[in-house]
């Protein structure tokens, strides 16, 4: 079949693959290829066992793969054939040199820019889909325009706002699609081409356009605002615990104000995921770079409160269990950074498990999708860790349950059966406030939620 356009996604990760899969499913007349330097990842995308768990994704991959959706490791050849390239490579926090621990590490991104330049026999539109510091498009343009000849590259910023666990729905029905471009005739023409792709399935009022720097910055700011809400509610959860208020009631009352809104006000053990912390630190770094230390400190406090919330959780476990965890068995229920994903990047469960092990607790980790990632995250740990998928088997013989992920399945477990299999006194530390605390208390547990009075027999 002759395709009208060749679309290429570079980076077959959590963002690159699902977003290209959605374009393939909505644009059957376009050929969509996703490439990656990681051959195992590409092999997995070509297999029955996809490397990323996302509800609904497998069905769409099955319908499109081999028709107009392809996964390949031949980055250079696919660049040559493409008309529009979405750059979806990882942009982690830098771990070395200037800006270590704060700035974005742009090595993967820059390598891609150079590869595009070296392998382009024709003009192309290059779209930044990765989250990048403001003004990265300018650096991209400078690299791409360093070649000789008449070949031109138009760089657009089209940040991705999908969340893991709901990626398919977020991509199919986005709140908005943001496209930033240069406001020159060529920039505007390139912008129109990208608008035309999204217009296949996104209502026109939800496709918004802006200048390129606004688009780059909006992505960092959106993540910072979301994370800030989580830190705000978590900070108040600490006050609730001191003052006998209930954070769920406070968040409900506050969120009913339509100016504030109800979303992202769930208190817990803090936000995880590969992006919130990285993107805020990147924003903080940019503010310091531009000589705005007060603004930088303001946003940095969002990350500090997130760390404080995890430390508070650990301190509470230790203190409630009579100030010693040595030799006690703790069942960690959930290791993914949120429900409906196997992703454990920056999951609060990693830090909390390490702290439990440092207290010489024995840890049994259960999760329906994240056990293999958990084992990789904790591979360097010397303490006693077991990985048990069945939550009933995981909890048996333990002194405490620590709920780390808001998996729906944990709400529906038979806690009476679990209680009977545990060492007494049995404890629940509900780091996500998802259980029926009163019912668990009535069964016999000592229950420690977040931001609510504990229910204990002592
Ligand atoms: P990821 O690590 O899952 O995927 C990135 C992929 O890029 C990896 O498979 C890596 O092998 C590949 N890669 C790196 N350099 C390459 C190169 N030169 N050529 C080909 N492939 C290369 O990362 P991710 O979670 O998909 O995030 C990617 C970007 O999207 C980041 O900037 C992130 O901030 C942003 N983002 C992520 C999410 C999310 O939910 N994970 C949401 C919105 C935006
Ligand atoms: C987040 C944003 O929601 C996406 O819009 C963005 O595209 C993405 O980051 C990104 O740039 O990577 P994601 O990290 O996948 O998506 O998941 P979220 O639903 O935002 O949850 C992040 C963390 O905050 C999770 O650990 C979650 O448990 C926690 N959270 C969220 C709370 O503790 N309370 C809440 O009320 C909401």
Look at residue 447 in the predicted model and tell me its pLDDT: 98
- Atom number in ligand 2 closest to CA 338: 28
Q: Ligand 2 within 6 A of 350 CB?
A: no
Q: What is the largest CA-CA distance in the chain?
A: 79
Cβ(451)–Cβ(431) below 8 Å: no
Tell the residue number behind the tokens 């499913």, with chain if given: 25
Q: Ligand 2 within 6 A of 264 CB?
A: yes
Q: Tell me: the pLDDT tens digits for 206-253?
A: 999 999 999 999 999 999 999 999 999 999 999 999 999 999 999 999
Burial class, 9, CB count within 10 angstroms (exposed 0-12 / middle 13-18 / buried 19+): buried
Look at residue 452 in the predicted model and tell me its pLDDT: 97
- What's the gap in Å between 88 CA and the centre of ligand 1? 5
- Atom number in ligand 1 closest to CA 91: 32
- What's the gap in Å between 232 CA and the centre of ligand 1? 28
Q: Tell me: the pLDDT tens digits for 349-359?
A: 999 999 999 99
Q: Ligand 2 within 6 A of 26 CB?
A: no
Which residues in the chain land under pLDDT 70?
none
CA 226 to chain centre: 12
Q: What's the CA gap between 168 and 18, in Å, rounded?
A: 7
Residue closest by Cα to atom 2 of ligand 2: 163
The pick from 338, 433, 451 for probing ligand 2's pocket by mutation, whose C-beta has the most ligand atoms within 8 angstroms, reads 338
- What's the gap in Å between 244 CA and the centre of ligand 1? 43
The pick from 273, 339, 340, 449 for probing ligand 2's pocket by mutation, whose C-beta has the most ligand atoms within 8 angstroms, reads 273
Look at residue 334 in the predicted model and tell me its pLDDT: 98
Question: SS in 3 state form for the chain?
Answer: CCCCEEEEEECCCCCHHHHHHHHHHHCCCEEEEEECCCHHHHHHHCCCCCCCCCCCHHHHHHHHECCCEEEECCHHHHHHHCCEEEECCCCCECCCCCCCCCCECCHHHHHHHHHHHHCCCCCEEEEECCCCCCCHHHHHHHHHCCCCCCCCEEEEECCCCCCCCCHHHHHHCCCCEEEEECCCHHHHHHHHHHHHHHCCCCCHHHEEEEEHHHHHHHHHHHHHHHHHHHHHHHHHHHHHHHHCCCHHHHHHHHHCCCCCCCCCCCCCCCCCCCCHHHHHHHHHHHHHHCCCHHHHHHHHHHHHHHHHHHHHHHHHHHHHCCCCCCCCEEEEECCCCCCCCCCCCCCHHHHHHHHHHHCCCEEEEECCCCHHHHHHHCCCCCCCEEECCCHHHHHCCCCEEEECCCCHHHHCCCHHHHHHCCCCCCEEEECCCCCCHHHHHHHCCEEECCCCCCECCC
Catalytic annotation, pick one of 27, 88, 240, 275: 275
- What's the gap in Å between 230 CA and the centre of ligand 1? 24
Q: Is 27 a catalytic residue?
A: no
Q: Ligand 1 within 6 A of 16 CB?
A: yes
Tell the residue number behind the tokens 């060492």, with chain if given: 423
Look at residue 150 in the predicted model and tell me its pLDDT: 86
- What's the gap in Å between 6 CA and the centre of ligand 1? 21
- Atom number in ligand 1 closest to CA 129: 30
């Amino acid at each position: 079949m002759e395709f009208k356009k060749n679309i290429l996604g570079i980076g077959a990760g959590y963002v690159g693959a699902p977003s290209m899969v959605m374009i393939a499913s909505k644009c059957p007349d376009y050929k969509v290829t996703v490439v990656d330097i990681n051959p195992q990842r590409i092999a997995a995308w070509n297999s029955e066992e996809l490397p990323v768990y996302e509800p609904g994704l497998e069905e769409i991959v099955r319908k499109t793969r081999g028709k107009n959706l392809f996964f390949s490791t031949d980055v250079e050849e696919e660049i040559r054939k493409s008309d529009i390239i979405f750059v979806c490579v990882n942009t982690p926090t830098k771990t070395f040199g200037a800006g270590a621990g704060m700035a974005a590490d742009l090595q993967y991104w820059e390598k891609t820019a150079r590869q595009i330049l070296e392998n382009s026999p024709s003009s192309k539109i290059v779209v930044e889909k990765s989250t990048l510091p403001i003004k990265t498009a300018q650096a991209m343009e400078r690299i791409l325009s360093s070649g000789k000849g008449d070949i031109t590259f138009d760089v657009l910023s089209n940040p991705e706002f999908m969340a893991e666990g709901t990626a398919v729905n977020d991509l199919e029905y986005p709140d908005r699609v943001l496209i930033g471009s240069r406001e020159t005739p060529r920039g505007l023409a390139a912008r129109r081409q990208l608008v035309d792709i999204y217009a296949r399935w996104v209502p026109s009022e939800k496709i918004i356009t802006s200048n390129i720097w606004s688009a780059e910055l909006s992505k960092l700011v959106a993540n910072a605002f979301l994370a800030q809400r989580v830190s705000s509610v978590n900070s108040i959860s600490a006050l609730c615990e001191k003052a006998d208020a209930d954070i769920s009631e406070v968040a409900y009352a506050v969120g009913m104000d339509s100016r504030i809104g109800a979303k992202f006000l769930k208190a817990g053990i803090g936000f995880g995921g590969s992006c919130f912390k990285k993107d805020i630190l990147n924003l903080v770094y940019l503010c310091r770079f531009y000589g705005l230390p007060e603004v930088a400190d303001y946003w940095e406090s969002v990350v500090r409160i997130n760390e404080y919330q995890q430390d508070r959780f650990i301190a509470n476990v230790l203190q409630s269990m009579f100030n010693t965890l040595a030799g006690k068995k703790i069942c960690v229920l959930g290791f993914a950074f949120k429900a409906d994903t196997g992703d454990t990047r920056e999951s609060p469960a990693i830090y909390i498990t390490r702290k439990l092990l440092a207290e010489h607790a024995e840890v049994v980790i259960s999760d329906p999708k994240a056990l293999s990632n958990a084992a990789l995250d904790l591979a360097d740990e010397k303490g006693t860790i077991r990985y048990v998928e069945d939550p009933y088997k995981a909890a048996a013989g333990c002194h405490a349950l620590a709920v780390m992920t808001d998996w729906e399945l944990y709400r529906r477990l038979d806690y009476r059966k679990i209680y009977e299999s545990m060492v007494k006194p049995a404890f629940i530390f509900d780091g996500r406030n998802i259980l029926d605390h009163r019912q668990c208390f009535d069964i016999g547990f000592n229950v420690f939620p977040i931001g609510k009075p504990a229910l204990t027999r002592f």
